[in-house]
Structure 1
Amino acid sequence: MSEIVALGAVGADPAARILDSIYSVHLLDPAAQSGGAAGTSAASGNFADLIAHGLARMNAKVAHADQMVTQFALDGSTPIHHVTIALEEARLAVEMAMQVRQRLLEGYRELMNLQL
């Protein structure tokens, strides 16, 4: 377990820990749902690999939602609630990627403004 996750788990109430585990497993890592170990390989890599893996997961969520919408529009065999869930997962993934991008830019700007 990483230091950040361990620090977050110390003061967190049980409900928050359950929500965090659901979010990290189901929304961010589709391979973790099938029991794969893909989520652990990115955590042990360097920062660039971590960012690239996160962007790939976000892209997979968006592509899956697009596929679900297309399938629903063409033949209607996909239930609407599955389409809605896929769209919301994609929206959350894109929103999270935008927040990470914004924080990285803020950190970069702060480093560039440091007086040496």
Structure 2
Amino acid sequence: MSLESIASIANVSMVDPAFGSMAAAQQQAGFSQMVSKGLGEVNQKLLSTQTDLQQLAVGDVQNLHQVMINLEEARMSFQLLMQVRNRVLEAYQDVMKMSV
């Protein structure tokens, strides 16, 4: 056992209860930031794919394979986003059905 692990245990035992609630708020903010970042990335992929498709329609595309790969990546990321949303909604509905 190292001194660092002992020091971290000592720090945990001295945690203020108010600090614990502040840590929970930071975790919630971290989760909301993570969700916002994920939504932004999916949106960015969809917008870049839309631009690629417009260039394809005009005939201004140098690499058709890369356009199709980008299109498929955007489609898969959107499907993943929808599946995560569906699972979160199902979990929320299950929690709301529970009796207290």
TM-score, structure 1 normalization: 0.58
Which residue is equivalent to 1:74?
A: 58
Which residue is equivalent to 2:37?
A: 53
Query: 1: CA distance between counterparts of 2:67 and 2:31?
Result: 33
* Off by >3 Å, runs of 4+ in structure 1: none
Equivalenced residues, count: 72
TM-score, structure 2 normalization: 0.66
Find the structure with the greater CA-based Rg: 2
Retained in 2: the 8 A contact 1:71–1:78? Answer: no
Q: Which runs of 5+ in 1 are unaligned?
A: 1-44
Q: Which amino acid aligns with 1:46?
A: G
Bigger helix share: 2
State the identity as a percent.
33
Query: 1: CA distance between counterparts of 2:57 and 2:93?
Result: 44
